[in-house]
Structures are given as structure tokens and as C-alpha cells.
A = this chain, B = another copy of it.
Amino acid sequence: MDIATIIGIVSGFGLISIAIILGGSPAIFINVPSLVVVIGGTLAATLINYPLADVLSIFGPVRKAFFHKESDPGELIDSLIQFATVARREGILALESKASETEDEFLGKSIQLAIDGTAPELIKDILTTEVAFMEDRHARGQGILSAMGASAPAFGMIGTLIGLVQMLATMEDPSAIGAGMAVALITTLYGAILANVIFLPTAAKLKIRTSSELLSKEITIEGILSIQSGDNPRVVEQKLKAFISPADRVAVGTDAA
């Protein structure tokens, strides 16, 4: 579970709530029509913007931004070195049980392909195609979140304009102007909060997640091909360590022993 995202969302909303509560009357900040205009309008614009199937499939990547178990490249390399040792000693078929045990679906599939004796070029082809489509799917999810981050403040402004026009056109009692304007401004506030606390930061996180997931997948592909070609575990280790920073290498493989 990604702690930073959770802490960020909770503390972001928490701080805003505290600032509101300190002001004395939190009830004035709840306005259902404003919420409907901002959230509804943003969703409507997103539906025009993207095909229905894409909008519906956003929840997968977003859930990933929240609850993604950060895959540690170091641990992954350790596993692959271990697999290499097993394959070297007992033959590649001995990895069968590893393939079914691992929680990492992509790793499992990769091992299975190697066990099945698939030709190396074909393994590489199959896995890189899958990675390319994963990237594509994530880029789409990120695009939807960015578009929502641009739409939310716009609909916030639209809602505020509607409120201002209503207030100004029907203004009879000048003393009521304050309350009317307060309600009008709430829609802008909602749009700003949604964009800056939810949509824009999660879109950015999704992008970072994609690149770290990409790294893991590239390590997996390189490792499996190296294991299948019968490389010595030390060679596998050397090849895979090139993917991580010099500082991280110390904690991995034989250096950690």
C-alpha cells in the first residue's frame, strides 16, 4: 500500500477541514448544488473527451496509484538470482513451483514461458508487447486524470458565475449579498480542491508509478532471458544490477551477504 498517497490525501483534506472548522461554521461549506455542478460537470466533460470504455477502465490505474505495493527492484533481482541458482542446479523445470507461488503475475507468466521452452525471441516479443500495452493503458489513465484536473476548476468557475448572476439579478436586499456571494464562491473552492488535492497529484503519481513498474518489468524480462540461456547466477546478478543505482546495489545479491 502506498503510504505517501494516503497520507497526502488524508492530510490535505484534514488541513482544509481544520481551516474551515477553525473559522466557526463548517456547515456553510457544504452545498450540494455546487458539488453536483463541479463533479457532474467534470464527469460529463470527461465522457465527451474519452470513449466510455476508457473512462470506465480508469479505476484500475487509479486504484494502483493508491494501493500499489511498491515493487522493490532489489527484491525482484534477489528473487531472479535465486531462480537462476535453482535453474542452474536442478534444471529450468524446477522453477515450475516458483511460477505458481509468486504474487507478481508478470514474473509468473515470464517463468512459465521459459519453462515451456518458448524461443527467446518469442518470449521477448510477447513480454515487451504486454509491457507496451500496459504503458499505453497507464498513459490513458493519466490523460483522463489530467483532463479532469483541467475541467474541475473550469466547472468551479461556471458554477460560481451561475451563482453570481442569480445573486446579482435578484438582489433586493443589499445585506444578503454576502451570503449569496459565499455560496457562489464555494463552487470555485470545490473545483480548486478537487484539482489540486486529487486529480493533478494522482495523475503525476500514476506517471511515476508507470516508470517504476516499467523498470521492474524490464528487469524481469532481462532476468528470465538470462536464466533461460543458462547463465551463471553471478552473470545474472551483474546484468540485472546495471538497472539499479550504485547506492542500491549494495543491498542486493552477493554484496548483501
Taking Cβ atoms with an 8 Å cutoff, the residues of A that contact B are: 2-5, 7-9, 11-12, 15-16, 18-20, 22-25, 28-29, 33, 36-37, 40-41, 43-52, 54-55, 70, 126, 129-130, 133, 136-137, 147, 151, 154-155, 157-159, 161-171, 177-179, 181-183, 185-186, 188-189, 192-193, 195-198, 200-202, 204-205, 208, 212, 242, 245-247
| 19 A-B contacts (beta carbon < 8 Å) | A5-B47, A11-B47, A12-B41, A16-B162, A28-B165, A28-B166, A28-B169, A41-B196, A45-B197, A48-B197, A50-B205, A51-B212, A54-B208, A154-B195, A158-B192, A165-B182, A168-B181, A168-B185, A169-B179
In the complex, how many angstroms separate the beta carbon of A161 from the nearest chain B beta carbon? 4
**A50 and B158 contact, CB distance less than 8 A:** no
The answer on a CB contact under 8 Å between B41 and A157 is: no
**In the complex, what's the smallest C-beta–C-beta distance from A222 to chain B, in angstroms?**
16
13 additional A-B residue pairs with CB within 8 Å, beyond A7-B52, A171-B179? A8-B45, A12-B40, A16-B41, A20-B162, A25-B169, A25-B170, A50-B205, A126-B246, A158-B193, A158-B196, A164-B182, A165-B186, A169-B178
Smallest CB gap from A18: residue in B = B36
For A157, what are the chain B residues with a Cβ–Cβ distance below 8 Å? 192
Name the residue of chain B whose CB is nearest to the CB of A56: B4
Within the complex, which residue of B4, B133, B189, B195 is in contact with A50, where a contact is CB–CB below 8 Å?
A: B4
A186 nearest in chain B by CB position: B165
